[in-house]
């Protein structure tokens, strides 16, 4: 006789059978999803959907984690240089993000003139001091260089503009009168799958040593102290990355041999973030290996171990953010395709899903004990590209079955980097679908969660103002 086993057809079964679950940041309580033990369903009930949230403690935890990995690597290899965590502001410029970062005394990487205004603001508020490193990347317009000069006048003495082209150096030379450290950005070769061969950002490998000898060696004002590189695909354990890193280190040793005073290596941003429940990445291994390679090559040319800088943007802030929607309806377009329609737009709230087919962790907030079904997810704009499905997701999308009278809420997680600046937070929006409200979640001194509305949902008046209907 068979003993009949219970059917494993609940959403919860699906996830538990497919992934290691629960995970550090995702737990279930009563068939509802908690994120870092935050009861998301309670937030949905309190604030309604759609909303974005930022959970601040994650930011400091990431910075601590990364510093610990570098410390471990330095100890393992008896590395004598220093590690400098720098936050890349372009991944999220919000005041609450910068303030969290500054609690950890990070350095800052900027990309444009307005970024420097953020630094001046924070300085005037007493939230940062003038001995942080300010790494100025990005295209140096005259306005940007004037702002750099303003920072120098305010007493900032660790500003390192990172030269992106020969012309940029000449303009800097004309406009800045004081002694200054500068960096050079190496233009990496793009990933072979990419449509360009060499990055448009930075100076080609072969041109750097001749440029140093011709224009920088013995320069009366500028000391080249930093070499910088950033690989578009990010830091990954693949042949492409290791190959680019090797070329970068070779330029460094060639510069040392040419008597360049380089004492800082900036390995850029691009540390990956968790984009699915199956995500695996050995951060410690990558850092240890990078440190080992830098040490070996520095010693081979008799140089002191250089200081290592990183400019992690996504890694710092992405996993602090999430976006919650309701499924408001289901449209069955044929036997195979049923569309769960959300109460907002993917294109405008998570533009990377549309622009670069980016994946995020997507999970229902409630009804994990219900049967599941395969669906597509559609946004509210009338644009046929406003969707999220298996092209962007790791697999087909499964969610608890749609029921008209039993609301289903879904969350996209680790969305805290770039989505706001790329979508133009608070500006006009495709089909005038408003920016959702934005909730900040934090912990108080007793470890209890606190939450408040940082920004209300955009109003019609807001948008009409931008459009000139005043």
Residues that bind ligand PLP (CB under 6 A): 88, 91, 109, 137, 230, 234, 268-271, 311-315, 417
Residue 228 beta carbon to ligand PLP: minimum distance, rounded to whole angstroms: 7
Residue nearest ligand PLP by beta-carbon distance? 269
Of 273 and 291, nearer to ligand PLP (C-beta) is 273
Phi, psi for 88 (deg, rounded to 5): -90, 105
In the complex, the smallest distance separating the C-beta of residue 93 from ligand PLP, rounded to whole angstroms, is 13
Q: Residue 137 or 353: which CB sits closer to ligand PLP? A: 137
- Of 313 and 400, nearer to ligand PLP (C-beta) is 313
- Of residues 33 and 308, the one with the C-beta less far from ligand PLP: 308
Between 90 and 393, whose beta carbon lies closer to ligand PLP?
90
Q: CB of 85: closest distance to ligand PLP in angstroms?
A: 12
CB 316 to ligand PLP: min, Å:
8
Give Cα 324 distance to the centre of its chain. 19
Q: Is the dihedral of CA 371, 373, 379, 380 positive or negative?
A: negative
CB of 346 to ligand PLP, least distance (A): 20
Least distance between ligand PLP and beta carbon 454 (Å): 22
| Closer to ligand PLP by Cβ: residue 15 or 245 | 245
What is the closest distance, in whole angstroms, from the C-beta atom of residue 319 to ligand PLP in the complex? 12
Q: How far is the CB of 383 from ligand PLP (least distance, A)?
A: 26
Evaluate whether 431 touches 380 at the Cβ level (below 8 Å): yes
C-alpha angle with apex 109: 104 to 110, nearest 5 degrees?
Answer: 130
Nearer to ligand PLP, 162 or 377 (CB): 162
Q: Which is nearer to ligand PLP, 147 or 228 (CB)?
A: 228
């Amino acid at each position: 006789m068979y003993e009949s086993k219970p059917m494993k057809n609940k959403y919860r079964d699906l996830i538990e059978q497919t992934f290691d679950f629960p995970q550090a940041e995702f737990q279930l309580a009563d068939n509802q999803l908690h994120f870092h033990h935050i009861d998301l369903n309670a937030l949905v009930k309190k604030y309604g959907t759609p909303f974005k949230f930022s959970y601040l403690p994650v930011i400091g935890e990431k910075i601590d984690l990364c510093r610990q990995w570098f410390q471990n690597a330095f100890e393992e290899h008896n590395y004598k240089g220093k590690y400098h965590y720098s936050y890349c502001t372009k991944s999220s410029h919000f005041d609450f993000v910068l303030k969290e970062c500054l609690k950890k005394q990070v350095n800052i990487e900027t990309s444009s003139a307005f970024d420097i205004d953020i630094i001046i603001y924070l300085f005037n508020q007493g939230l940062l001091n003038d001995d942080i490193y300010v790494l100025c990347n990005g295209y140096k317009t005259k306005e940007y260089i004037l702002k750099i000069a303003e920072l120098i006048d305010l007493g900032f003495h660790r500003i390192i503009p990172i030269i992106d082209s020969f012309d940029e150096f000449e303009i800097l030379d004309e406009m800045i009168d004081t002694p200054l450290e500068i960096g050079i950005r190496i233009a990496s070769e793009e990933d072979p799958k990419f449509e360009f061969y060499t990055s448009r950002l930075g100076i080609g490998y072969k041109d750097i040593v001749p440029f140093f000898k011709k224009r920088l060696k013995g320069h009366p004002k500028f000391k080249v102290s930093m070499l910088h590189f950033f690989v578009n695909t990010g830091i990954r354990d693949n042949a492409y990355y290791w190959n680019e890193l090797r070329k970068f280190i070779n330029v460094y040793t060639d510069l040392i041999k040419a008597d360049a005073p380089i004492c800082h290596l900036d390995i850029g941003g691009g540390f990956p973030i968790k984009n699915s429940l199956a995500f695996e990445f050995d951060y410690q291994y990558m850092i240890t290996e990078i440190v080992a390679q830098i040490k070996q090559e520095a010693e081979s040319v008799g140089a002191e171990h250089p200081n290592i800088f990183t400019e992690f943007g996504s890694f710092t802030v992405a996993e602090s953010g999430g976006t919650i929607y309701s499924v408001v309806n289901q449209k069955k377009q044929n036997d195979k395709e049923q569309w769960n329609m959300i109460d907002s737009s993917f294109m405008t709230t998570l533009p990377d899903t549309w622009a670069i087919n980016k994946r995020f962790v997507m999970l229902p907030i409630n009804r994990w004990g219900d049967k599941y079904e395969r669906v597509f997810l559609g946004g509210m704009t009338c644009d046929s590209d406003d969707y999220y499905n298996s092209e962007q997701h790791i697999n087909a999308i499964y969610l608890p079955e749609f029921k008209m009278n039993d609301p289903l809420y879904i969350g996209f997680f680790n969305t805290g980097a770039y989505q706001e600046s790329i979508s133009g937070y608070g500006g006009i929006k495709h089909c005038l679908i408003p920016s959702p409200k934005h909730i900040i979640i934090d912990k108080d001194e007793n470890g209890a969660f606190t939450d408040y509305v940082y920004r209300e949902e955009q109003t019609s008046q807001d948008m009409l103002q931008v459009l000139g209907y005043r």
